[in-house]
Amino acid sequence: MHSYQFLDDIAVADLAFKAEGDSVEELFRAATEALLETLADPSTVAVTWERRIEHVCGALDELLFEWLSDLVYWKDAAGVVFHEADLSVVQKGTTWTLAAVVRGAPVDQTTQILHNDVKGVTKHLYEVKQQGMRWYAQVVVDV
């Protein structure tokens, strides 16, 4: 199980969200869904574009930061917004690996409900932590 919520009182000129999950993978799913929703309503985005993405990092917080930043990169580089992202996160020794397939479509104001043009993921108040059996992240994006 995972969830996310947008935080109104964290950053004035930016947008912030908190994500949580029962596992690292669920945390990544929640943060991914929050970012996709920040860009556009995923239910209004068709699936005509697909990209496979893999990241390997020594630190979990770096992995999440790189993954979310990559989504923003592809939004700009390919001019797309996203419908969904299937992902897995695996730890082997001291290394974390994320493998994902992200799907979406080119931006189309006539068929999609667009929300924010995210410019980047910031390190401002950025945090990934485990408390008990749950994982939490706080993310601020520049809009």
The tens digit of pLDDT for each residue in 28-79 reads 999 999 999 999 999 999 999 999 999 999 999 999 999 999 999 999 999 9
The tens digit of pLDDT for each residue in 84-96 reads 999 999 999 999 9
User: Which one-letter DSSP state was computed for residue 71?
Assistant: H
The tens digit of pLDDT for each residue in 100-137 reads 999 999 999 999 999 999 999 999 999 999 999 999 99
Counting the structural domains of the chain, the total is 1
Look up the domain containing 41 and give its range.
Answer: 2-142
Token code pair at residue 112:
């999609």
Residue 11 has pLDDT above 80, yes or no: no
Residue 7 has pLDDT above 80, yes or no: no
* CATH code where residue 27 lies: 3.55.10.10
User: Which one-letter DSSP state was computed for residue 58?
Assistant: S
Q: What is the DSSP string of 76-122?
A: HHHTEEEEEEEEEEEEETTEEEEEEEEEEEE--TTTS-B-----EEE
Among 113, 96, 127, 133, which Cα is nearest to 17's? 127
Q: What is the pTM of this model?
A: 0.91
Length of the chain as a residue count: 143
